[in-house]
Amino acid sequence: MRQKFTHLAYLTSRLSKQSQYYGTLTNKANKFLCYNYQNVEHTKKIERPASFESPACLREELLCKVADPARNGIDKVTIVGAGMVGVACANAILFQRISSHVAIVDPFPKKLEGEGMDYCHSSVFLDDPRIEFDTNFCISKDSKVVVITAGARQKEGENRLDLVKKNTNIMRNIIPPLVEYSPDAVFLIVSNPVDVLSWVAWKVSGLPVTRIIGAGCHLDTARFRCMIAKRLGISAKSVHGLVIGEHGDSQVPLWSGVNVAGVLFRDIIPHVGLELDEEGWNDLAKSVAKAKMSQRIF
C-alpha cells in the first residue's frame, strides 16, 4: 500500500510540474490526489528538479569549475576590413594558431555576418578560438595587434598613389577609436598605398613609430621568390632575395643578393637583372610589380 501511495506522490510531483506548461489540474484530479495524500504516511519528499532560466545556469550544472578562466586578450588580434585581404589574414591567423582570440570589424553588416559565422563554425576544427565580429570598434578592446586592411579598391587604370586621398580619409576615421580601445596595440597596415598610409597612421595615432608597421614590399618579395622558383622548377623555400622601396611600380628587386640555396645568381649569370640580360629576368621583375589577382599563387 505504501508503494502505491509513494507512486501517487511521484505522480503528483510530475503533474504539478507539467501543469506549468499544460494548464492547471482538473478539480477532480486535484481532489483525488489530495485525498490520497492525506493517507500517505512517511512518504519520502520528492523535490522538483531545478529549472534553468538561462544557458549560463545550465552550464554551471553541467561543468565543474576547476580553475579560473584564462586571461582574455593575451594574444587578441583585431582585423579591420572583411574583404578579400582581411579574410585572407583571418584565415592565416586562425589556421596557423597564431591567436586564440580574433575580432573582425567591418562597416557592412551582411558581409561581416556571413564571414563571421563561417569562422565561428570552423572553430570546431581548430583549437576553439574566440571569434567576434561587429560593425562597432568596441570589440577591438585590449587587442595586442590590429591589422588594418580596410580601404577603397584600386580601379583599373589607377595606380596605388591615386588611392591616397580616399584611404587617408578612411584612416583618419578608424585609427582614433582603435587607439582608444587598444592603446598598447601594435598596428600592422596592409591597405594601399601601404607606405603612405603607414605614415598617415603613425601621425594620426600619435603612437611611437615602432608600433606602426607597414607590410611594405613583403608581398612583392614573396612573389619575386615564387616566380624565380617557378621558372627554375624548384621550391620557393630554396630561393632567397628581396624587393625593396615603395610597394608598387617603383619597387626595386635586389638581384645582387638573389641566391638559390646560398649560390648567388650573379656568380652563374653575371648580367642578371641588368640591361645586358638577354634571358628575360628583367621582365620577371616587372611582372612582380604588375601582378594581378589572377597571378597570385598563395
Q: Any alpha helices (H) in 23-142, and if so which ranges?
A: 27-38, 55-62, 84-95, 109-122
- C-alpha Rg value of the chain to the nearest Å: 32
Give the integer Cα–Cα distance in Å for 170 and 174.
6
Residue (of 123, 66, 68, 122) closest to 100 by Cα position = 123
Give the integer Cα–Cα distance in Å for 232 and 239.
10
Residue partners of 123: CB distance under 8 A and separation at least 6: 94, 129, 131
Give the integer Cα–Cα distance in Å for 282 and 146.
36
For residue 3, the surrounding DSSP H or E stretch is helix 2-22
What amino acid positions are annotated as catalytic residues?
A: 247
Q: Are 224 and 243 in contact (CB under 8 A)?
A: yes
Burial 241-255 (b: 16+ CB within 10 A, else e): bbbeebbbeebebeb
Three cell numbers written together for 220: 612583392
